[in-house]
Structure 1
Amino acid sequence: MAPPAIDTSRRPFVLVWELTQACELACKHCRADAKPDRHPDELTTAEGRRLLEEASEFGDGQLVVLSGGDPLARDDAVELVEYGTALGLRMTLTPSGTASLTRDRIDALADAGLRRVALSIDGGSAAAHDAFRGEDGSFEQTLAAAEAARSAGLPLQVNTTVCAETVGELPAIRRRVEALDAVLWSVFFLVPVGRGRVLDPVTPERAERVMEWLGNVAADAPFGVKTTEAPHYRRVVAQRGSDAGDGAASDGIGRRTGITPGDGFAFVSHVGEVYPSGFLPQSAGNVRERSVVDIYRDADLFQSLRDPDALRGKCGACEFRHHCGGSRSRAFAYTGDPLESDPLCAYVPDRYDGPLPEQSFTEGDVSTAD
């Protein structure tokens, strides 16, 4: 299924709704700094239905991702999937690998019209994954959920976080992704928000080598590869003269290149705040007061993020700014300004001689195998 051609100034390709920040896990990288209990001011079921109705106004087949925390910590998750599907939305879900993700719930989600399920794997073994996720048994529960999704006919996406602790696990995770018959591997390069502030990122040079390696994986693997918060993967691929990792996948939703916070992507928090991304927690309004459609199209923050020529520093001088643009979330995390340079990118444009962005790194990054 080819990705739909859309005008990202008018609608996002991906609209994420964080149903809740409640979760049984204590993952080291958690953006939401999730806790076991639900927040008393979460959007209600009725408010969520209204949000989905507004989302359908973006146009036919709007993609909606229900995330968390653990979205299955809410007992209305299946109901919301069914309601969104009836509105013509393409509903997907990113549950946590916990005991809540039973075969019965996966079957119920499939029956409700869910188009894809995304599960996180951050280690090639139970020991590595469970240590990162903060709970014994998470790895096996995730694998069991992946098998249940396959049995239910749900396409599977695997999400993986890249940081100093996990980068050496990537080859083993890559083999696991293929063994699970996943349709897409989404590789997230750490942004220091939430609990992720205490983790060490990889260096820009290491990130560059990982992206080159991912390009090789994408060229040969039976699944698609995309990066999250690392749009310079597109620059790396372009410089290699390859289109690896950016084709359409038969995953039930299609996918599209060039999606960045505020430009093809929007995030609604558990209490209704609208951010360009969950990793760029700067609110442009609240859905309890203003339509998500109006916020996405007209808010100054979103409009500024859709103008590559507004970027500053190294990113603003880069000839790849219209193709890449850098991670606006990482720029915000390190500088407080989402239009500043992305400190993870190693590339320096020939005509740029200004200051380079700074980032804290760990010593002795672990190498991935070829």
Structure 2
Amino acid sequence: MARPNHAGPASAAPDPRSIDTDDRPFVLIWEVTQACDLACDHCRADAQPARHPEELTTEEGKRLLDEAREFGEGQLVVLSGGDPLARPDLLELVEYGTEIGLRVTLTPSGTSSLTPAVVGDLADAGVRRLALSLDGASAESHDDFRGEAGSFEQTVEAAAAAREAGLPLQINTTVCASTADELPALRDRVADLGAVLWSVFFLVPVGRGQLLDPVSPERAEEILAWLSEVSEESPFGVKTTEAPHYRRVAIQRRRDASEAPPEDGIGRRLGITAGDGFAFVSHTGELYPSGFLPESAGSVREEDLVGLYRESDLFRSLRDPDALSGKCGACEFRHVCGGSRSRAYAHAGDPTASDPLCAYVPEGYDGPMPAGRVD
């Protein structure tokens, strides 16, 4: 039975087709802390056990949420980490964001801190969705990837608690060479857990993720085509992170761009990329196009969040598909895909370069292939 929510009236999600990504992001992520008890193989944040002394304070965080509200009604804000539960003021921040009209979601780590009671408290505070990570279909493979025995069991228990509390559940999974073979079994887990969305993240070599092996472009293409099939057959939505060519694959499978899936099943349009519908505030207040693209547009401690997103040269360049170079710049799908700007930056040091994970070569293209291409 779902628990009552006492955090105030819920804000409706805006129509994703009505959002101009020059004006506002679909998703604003705030990394509230880098602290986390896990040592995951892929960790972008290179998380540490202790909180950073220069994290945004409670008052600075509330000011950030106030500014996020200025983007427009129902702005989606994801509180991320590290592990957000490492912040003692987390419930206060969730309640505040909800009260001022934001749609607040959370990505906690699967640790002993995430008890059923805590999940219930988060639901009462106004969290709109809980996103949990599963990177292996079994306790052995998941715990090995996460670097902590018991993480799988704690994650599954938290998923059950979310269902009991009436919280929609999202499952996040990392795709790399060591996890790719488990994807079919993970799909079954996602269905069994009653998730509304499976978010599949294709590895970007930042943080500890630099030590992992990515899949090849050809294997990525196969996985994306398979995910497109899964999205058509499953009771949950499917979206990719740092693999926007999923949309190109879906279009090619249907041979008609008008039949491509417009949303991820819970109100977010597909095809957003770093800086274009997506923004990330670090634990110390730096605004990045993505947590995987560590080039700052400025600090929210010193400048206005909305102004930075709309007017900074970095974000404006990332919202211009015609500014892309190389294979991505020549691709006819650049306006619906655009490639991973984070992966391009990680490999070439240039966020407008080509995505080395994409296997597609535009007809007639004979220019250089992306730097760092995995063959």
2: distance between equivalents of 1:86 and 1:244? 36
- Residue from 263, 286, 301 that aligns with 1:247: 263
AA matched with 1:344? L
Scaled by the length of structure 1, the TM-score of the pair is 0.95
Identity of aligned pairs, percent? Answer: 71
Is 1:221 equivalent to 2:234 in the alignment? Answer: yes
8 Å CA contact 2:143, 2:151 repeated in 1: yes
2: distance between equivalents of 1:5 and 1:134? 42
Residue of structure 1 equivalent to 2:244? 231
Task: Please give the root-mean-square deviation of Cα atoms over the aligned residues, in Å.
Answer: 1.3
AA matched with 2:162? A
- Residue from 190, 193, 198 that aligns with 2:203: 190
In structure 2, the residue corresponding to 1:48 is in which secondary structure? helix
Residue of structure 2 equivalent to 1:61? 74
1:360 deviates by 6.1
1:5 deviates by 1.8
- Residue from 185, 188, 192 that aligns with 1:175: 188
Residue of structure 2 equivalent to 1:365? none
In structure 2, the residue corresponding to 1:142 is in which secondary structure? helix
- Residue from 336, 355, 360 that aligns with 1:342: 355
Q: Deviations over 1:66-112 (max 9, x none)?
A: 00000010011111010000010000000000011111111111111
Residue of structure 2 equivalent to 1:131? 144
Is 1:122 equivalent to 2:135 in the alignment? Answer: yes
1: distance between equivalents of 2:25 and 2:140? 38
Question: Alpha carbons of 1:127 and 1:244: their partners in 2 closer, same or farther (altered >3 Å)?
Answer: farther
- Residue from 23, 44, 50 that aligns with 1:31: 44
* Dislocated runs of 4+, deviation >6 Å: none
Q: Deviations over 1:146-167 (max 9, x none)?
A: 0000000000000000000000
2: distance between equivalents of 1:6 and 1:246? 13
Q: Which ranges of structure 1 fall in alignment gaps of 5 or more residues? A: 363-370
2: distance between equivalents of 1:246 and 1:180? 25
2: distance between equivalents of 1:261 and 1:328? 6
Q: Deviations over 1:39-66 (max 9, x none)?
A: 0000000000000000000000000000
Residue of structure 1 equivalent to 2:288? 275
Question: Alpha carbons of 1:10 and 1:258: their partners in 2 closer, same or farther (altered >3 Å)?
Answer: same
Is 1:16 equivalent to 2:32 in the alignment? Answer: no
1: distance between equivalents of 2:108 and 2:241? 18
Is 1:47 equivalent to 2:60 in the alignment? Answer: yes
Is 1:144 equivalent to 2:160 in the alignment? Answer: no
Alignment of 1:299-314 (within 5 A): 299-314=312-327
Q: Which ranges of structure 2 fall in alignment gaps of 5 or more residues? A: 1-12
AA matched with 2:370? P
Residue of structure 2 equivalent to 1:71? 84
1:223 deviates by 0.3
Scaled by the length of structure 2, the TM-score of the pair is 0.94
8 Å CA contact 2:238, 2:264 repeated in 1: no
1:3 deviates by 3.4
Residue of structure 1 equivalent to 2:170? 157
- Residue from 267, 271, 278 that aligns with 1:258: 271
8 Å CA contact 2:285, 2:300 repeated in 1: yes
1:357 deviates by 1.2
Is 1:81 equivalent to 2:116 in the alignment? Answer: no
Q: How many residues get paired?
A: 359
